[in-house]
């Protein structure tokens, strides 16, 4: 992984710590002249491409890298911290303590969950800031320059949003005045003064400002006929979904609806792909993919990447840490729903050929594209998520007709008897706060949230995103772990090294409560 850090250092104008160093600052350790390395749109796009590489194969430290590998590490951790996804066995114990909500003891280690995620996302922010600093020069070049600056703004918003989800409280309307995260919007160096946490409202204001800046630039680019050159690049439509996620968390229903609806207008987009065509969710070229990363053999391996934790057949960590749908969620899926193909309850053969794990609802949703080379593309955003965001927002706005139309668009492609199921739902935006009882939906909102739990299991934002924003707790049947709404364990501790390095923070006052 040293190679990736050094590539980033060259193309993004900052020297990063190698994976063998457990440094933890909110700024790069050195600064190379941005004046000489980002002078035009071509150079800036190379820098942004370096960030994308880091997003799907980068880690902040070689220690414990296997559970902090790229942006999907957050997704998987968030899913396992909920009640719908569990590891059948502890295996190598990667993500196991996330599942137990028991990572607090790692906050003093720079390679623990807290340090890895803090440094990882601030590294992305630091790199994006170098491109944004060249906005005037780049935008003057025309569409190519505007496009690359828009990508930088969207990347920075995405990273701040991830930090907020990890380190800040959920239920934003009630907690907007609770602590946010330190904000840096200009190129930084070792001499940069550390910032305070501010409020969660401050953090979301920055996220919204960045997504809006990206939206405006992307819109000009799209209207001018300029198209992105690679699926890994964020574009207008991807930015809309990412921003809509933030809008849902804020309770900004009209904005969420408008953005998700705009995302679905992408020319040629397959709004709902069949489960059969999606295969092992490993092909970013599929028509329903709005953002994904194409992975080649020399950029991956059998241990570390997301797929190594999810494919139960082909080696990697998942062989001994198979991920399961909860029994309750599995039981709630109708026999006529094609998403049952994502679950194996027939068991697996052990090394002696003996059948084991019969009846366990093991996920086979994510599979290698080529197991021999450990290759599987990473899908970050797909159109079905945008449909569900729009459906929820329509329901919140009491636009029952639109909500039903959107749910039917997805549901009828998944379940041959979905029309009858949808007809049974009451026009209401109320939802059951008992997450087990909610698996038997009654209201239209219950149905939207159930669809999110099944359709987006193991991907997108991860289950904890919904639990935090909806202010829900749960009781797991698999291990009896019980949480309450706003559970403090849903928000991880700030790493010790941030307090060591940032004189604007005081651990006694600024650490997350326990």
For the residues 347-360, what does the mean pLDDT come to? 90
Question: Is this structure's pTM higher than 0.85?
Answer: yes
Distance from CA of residue 247 to its chain's centroid? 15
Tell me, what's the pLDDT at 189?
A: 85
Q: How far apart are CA 4 and CA 300, in angstroms?
A: 12
What domains does the chain contain, in order, with CATH numbers? Answer: 2-271+490-510 (1.25.40.390)
Q: How far apart are CA 263 and CA 143, in angstroms?
A: 20
Q: Which helix (H) or strand (E) holds 151?
A: helix 143-167
Q: Give the model confidence (pLDDT) of 439-481 as tens digits.
A: 999 999 999 999 999 999 999 999 999 999 999 999 999 999 9
Q: How far apart are CA 293 and CA 274, in angstroms?
A: 20
Q: Give the model confidence (pLDDT) of 372-414 as tens digits.
A: 999 999 999 999 999 999 999 999 999 999 999 999 999 999 9
% of the chain surpassing 90 pLDDT? 84
Residue showing tokens 């049947």: 477
Strands (E) in 29-82, as ranges, are: 30-31
Radius of gyration over alpha carbons of the chain, in Å?
A: 22
Q: Please, are residues 246 and 167 in contact by the beta-carbon 8 Å criterion?
A: no
What is the CB neighbour count within 10 angstroms for residue 339? 17
Q: Which residue has the higher pLDDT, 91 or 338?
A: 338
Best CA proximity match to 43, nearest among 19, 77, 10, 86 = 10
Best CA proximity match to 292, nearest among 245, 237, 234, 342 = 234
Tokens representing 108? 């003093």
Whether 19 has a pLDDT exceeding 50, the answer reads: no
Q: How far apart are CA 1 and CA 342, in angstroms?
A: 32
Tokens representing 183? 């904000």
Q: How many residues does the chain have?
A: 514
Q: Give the model confidence (pLDDT) of 188-206 as tens digits.
A: 988 899 999 999 999 999 9
Residue showing tokens 């996302």: 121
């Amino acid at each position: 992984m040293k190679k990736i850090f050094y590539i980033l250092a060259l193309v993004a104008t900052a020297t990063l710590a190698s994976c063998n160093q457990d440094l933890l600052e909110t700024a790069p350790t050195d600064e190379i002249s941005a004046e000489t390395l980002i002078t035009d749109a071509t150079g800036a796009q190379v820098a942004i491409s370096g960030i994308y590489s880091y997003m799907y194969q980068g880690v902040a430290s070689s220690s414990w890298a296997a559970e902090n590998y790229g942006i999907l590490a957050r997704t998987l951790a968030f899913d396992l911290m909920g009640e719908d996804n569990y590891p059948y066995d502890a295996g190598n114990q990667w993500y196991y303590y996330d599942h137990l909500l028991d990572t607090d003891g790692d906050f003093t280690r720079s390679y623990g969950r807290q340090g890895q995620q803090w440094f990882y996302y601030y590294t992305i922010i630091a790199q994006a800031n170098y491109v944004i600093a060249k906005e005037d020069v780049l935008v003057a070049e025309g569409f190519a320059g505007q496009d690359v600056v828009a990508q930088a703004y969207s990347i920075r918003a995405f990273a701040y949003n991830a930090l907020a989800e990890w380190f800040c409280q959920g239920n934003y309307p009630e907690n907007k005045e609770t602590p946010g995260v330190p904000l840096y919007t200009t190129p930084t160096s070792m001499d940069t003064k550390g910032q305070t946490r501010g409020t969660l409202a401050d953090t979301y204001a920055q996220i919204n400002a960045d997504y809006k800046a990206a939206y405006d630039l992307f819109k000009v680019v799209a209207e001018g006929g300029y198209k992105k050159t690679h699926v890994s690049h964020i574009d207008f439509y991807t930015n809309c979904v990412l921003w809509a996620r933030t809008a849902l968390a804020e309770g900004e229903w009209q904005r969420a609806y408008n953005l998700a609806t705009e995302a679905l207008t992408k020319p040629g987009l397959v709004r709902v792909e069949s489960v059969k065509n999606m295969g092992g969710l490993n092909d970013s070229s599929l028509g329903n993919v709005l953002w994904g990363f194409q992975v080649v053999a020399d950029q991956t391996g059998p241990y570390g990447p997301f797929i190594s934790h999810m494919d139960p057949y082909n080696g990697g960590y998942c062989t001994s840490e198979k991920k399961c749908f909860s029994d309750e969620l599995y039981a709630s899926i109708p026999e006529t729903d094609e998403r049952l193909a994502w679950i194996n309850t027939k068991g697996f053969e052990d090394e002696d050929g003996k059948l084991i794990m019969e009846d366990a609802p093991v996920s086979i949703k994510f599979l290698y594209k080529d197991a021999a080379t450990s290759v599987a593309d990473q899908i970050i955003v797909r159109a079905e998520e945008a449909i569900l965001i729009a459906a929820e927002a329509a329901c919140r706005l009491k636009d029952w007709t639109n909500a039903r139309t959107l749910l039917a668009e997805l549901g009828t492609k998944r379940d041959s008897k979905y029309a009858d199921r949808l007809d049974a739902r009451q026009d209401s935006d109320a939802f059951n706060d008992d997450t087990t009882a909610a698996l038997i939906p009654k209201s239209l909102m219950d149905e939207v949230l159930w669809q999110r739990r099944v359709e987006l299991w193991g991907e997108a934002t991860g289950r904890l995103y919904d639990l935090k924003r909806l202010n829900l707790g749960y009781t797991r049947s698999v291990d009896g772990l019980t949480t309450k709404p706003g559970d403090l364990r849903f928000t991880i501790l700030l790493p010790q090294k941030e307090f060591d390095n940032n004189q604007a923070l005081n651990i006694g006052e600024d650490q997350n409560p326990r």
